[in-house]
Structure 1
Amino acid sequence: CATKTPINNKGDCHVYSLPYLFDDFLFLSNCFQGGQFNKVRMLMMLDRYPFEEKVFKIISEDFPFLQKLIILNLKEQQNDQHRSPTLIRFNHLFKLNLINANKGYVKQFLSQRKTSLPCLTNLKIRYSTLASVTNDFTNDETRLNCTKIKSLYAFDVTIRSQNFDSYFPSLCNFS
């Protein structure tokens, strides 16, 4: 069990036992202490405080077969200037939901210098955030993690950029 400083007279507590025998792990927060979660395929992260890069490094190691990741956090990351040169790898992640995530998480996951996503084929995201992070679909640093995406759900699309189609050459489904 891990707790945080209470806000509004409420505290957080997440209790689980090892070995963790479920496929889904819901509501992981910054107070995650680590452990081996080989069976988990879907992870939902939620916290009122920002997730820093070190949390994602721990997750990539402790959830080695993670296939689906949902990040629910609109708080800006604080330690952007202290980024580690270590590449974070999610070898099996094929579905990433960043609709309710701060732009910093989008930068972290789509940047090939920060995160390797060799199997990413499904992305859910706000179009405005995606366009901003990819510099209107011209940024080469984020292009590699987008090239294999086959299904893109982009919330708040008004008009697609002229560079959009070339940025997602594998795209089959766009909504």
Structure 2
Amino acid sequence: MLNLEELALQLSVIRAESTYIDGNQLYDEVLNYMPRLNRFIFNIHTHIINSCVGIDLPYNNDIRNSFINRGFQSIDTCADERLINNRGNCHVYSLPYQFSEFLFMSSCFQGGKFNKVRMLLMLDRRPFEHELFKIISQDFPFLQKLIIWNSEPEQNKQHHSSTTPSYICIEYETLKSVTNNFTNDATRAICTEIKSRITSDTFVRLENFDSYFSSHEILVLRKPFK
């Protein structure tokens, strides 16, 4: 590590009873041991699980300044400043963004330019609203795969998005809410464009679930016998 001159780091960390990784901790525990490092690109995600409410979370500007003070001028951050169900997420990454994946995006995301990203994973216990998907459609112009996990329905349902990635993974309950129990004609028009589906036989589907899609190519995932 002492002779390392270039480093591309994409890191996701789960921490309990702690706070987000900042520039000071990254320098003290990692970069301080790489004296010859002259090129460093990174995307660092911290997922915290805190049952102790007394732990104060840093603000976005605090995290950003901790990296700037260590010499990283071209960076951006997005961090949950309050916990939901004792959980929070923080992203900090160098600019321009150099990775083909953006993993564990949360609802605090504010946008940017991500021309190299082909796969996006969205994960949050807060609802993803229309404005966030509008940002994604503009800032991820070459997105091919979109994976969404969200336990809360969208609050503002007055809008729709024209984003059409080639692969989407979505929870059944979310899909049921968006399509109004698979009766909405507007979303039906979008679903008819889907060429294939991968589903599971482990959930109870509404009667008109299968007829809502025009696809004839269906792969059903089954649990193995014990």
- The residue aligned with 1:133 is 181
Alignment of 1:38-49 (within 5 A): 38-49=115-126
Match of 2:197 in 1: 152
3-state SS in 1 of match to 2:95: coil
Structure 1 counterpart of 2:18: none
- Give the Cα–Cα distance (whole angstroms) in 1 for the partners of residues 109 and 215 of structure 2: 35
For 1:19, the aligned partner's letter is P
Label 1:51 to 1:78 Cα distance change in 2 as closer, same or farther (>3 A).
same
Task: Verify the 8 A CA contact 1:64 1:90 in the aligned structure 2.
Answer: no
Q: Shift in Å at residue 54 of structure 1?
A: 0.3
CA, structure 1 residues 53+38, in 2 after alignment: closer, same or farther (shift >3 Å)? same
How far apart, CA to CA, are the structure 2 residues paired with 1:163 and 1:102?
A: 13
Gaps of 5+ in 2: 1-76, 221-226
| 2:135 counterpart (58, 66, 70) | 58
How many residues were matched structurally? 142
Structure possessing the higher relative contact order (Cα contacts under 8 Å, 6 or more residues apart): 1
1:143 aligns with 2:143: no
More strand by share: 2
1:148/1:171 contact within 8 Å kept: no
% identical equivalent positions? 46
CA distance in 2, matches of 1:38, 1:65: 6
Q: Which has the larger radius of gyration?
A: 2
State how far apart, in whole Å, the 2-side matches of 1:34 and 1:22 are. Answer: 16
Query: What TM-score comes out, normalization by structure 2 length?
Result: 0.53
Pair 1:88-2:88 in alignment: no
Q: Pairwise mapping of residues 65-80 of structure 1 onto structure 2 (< 5 A)?
A: 65-80=142-157
**RMSD of the TM alignment (CA)?**
2.9
* Unmatched 5+ stretches in structure 1: 111-131
Change (3 A) 1:50 1:17: same
Structure 1 residue 152, shift from structure 2 partner:
0.9
In the superposition, the TM-score normalised over structure 1's length comes to 0.67
